[in-house]
Copies of this chain bind each other. A is one copy, B any other.
Amino acid sequence: MQTLGTKALILDVALHRFAEHGYNGTSLNEIADKVGIRRPSLLHHFPSKEALYRAVLLDAFADWFALLEVAVAGDVKRGWPQVERVLRAAFRFFEDHPDFVRLARWEALEGGPMLSQELGDLLRPFFDRGTEFLEREMDAGRLRRYDARQLLLTGYGAVLSYLSDASLMTSLLDVDPLSIKMLAARREHVIDVLRNALQP
């Protein structure tokens, strides 16, 4: 049942590998082997390792941007309920796309193969929209006052680190941090902390 074309299959396998071991830790041979072709055949579909990586990264982020667009559409609610709505949407996305989380983390750490700047530019509009929303709600007294940009970065760290650093979490928690149960516990915890910090 391999409905995926070879190209899509390559992207799929590469996403897993890059997410797991990063750019430097992944070889084209590994990817090709898992796809079931030889390396030169892989390079027939993508001109270079870096081109493949870019394609993987942009694909992954396209999904994330699409979700963000939907999640913030209309600013349906105000104050904390809207924050919680977006948070839950984000959590659901991250839980469904663990490879995306790790890929993003590698990219953020490495500064990427000269791609980080570009990604930052794509991320920036969403960051600014988030900032504006938070500032508006704080001004209206519906959220406790903080530096809105710092607050977004705090959310970023609190949400993503747990998911990206799974092996460390396993050492500390003695359970699979990515099990359904632990993911739910994590989600509710973060939301709980932020609610208490944000509600006036």
> Does B146 lie within 8 Å of A192, measured CB to CB?
yes
Contacts of A107 in B (CB 8 A): 168
Smallest beta-carbon distance A180→chain B, Å: 16
Give A184 to B32 CA distance when docked, in angstroms: 47
Question: Chain A 136-161 against B: per-residue CB contact (8 Å), 1 yes, 0 no?
Answer: 00000000101101110110111111
Q: Is the CB of B193 within 8 A of A146?
A: yes
User: Contact: B153 with A161, CB < 8 Å?
Assistant: yes
Q: How distant is the Cα of A190 from the Cα of B154 in the complex, in angstroms?
A: 7
State A150–B191 Cα separation when bound (angstroms).
12
A67 to B175, CA, bound (A): 28
Chain A residues within CB distance 8 Å of chain B: 21-22, 24-25, 102, 105-112, 116-117, 119-121, 123-124, 127, 144, 146-147, 149-151, 153-154, 156-162, 164-165, 167-173, 185-186, 189-190, 192-194, 196-197
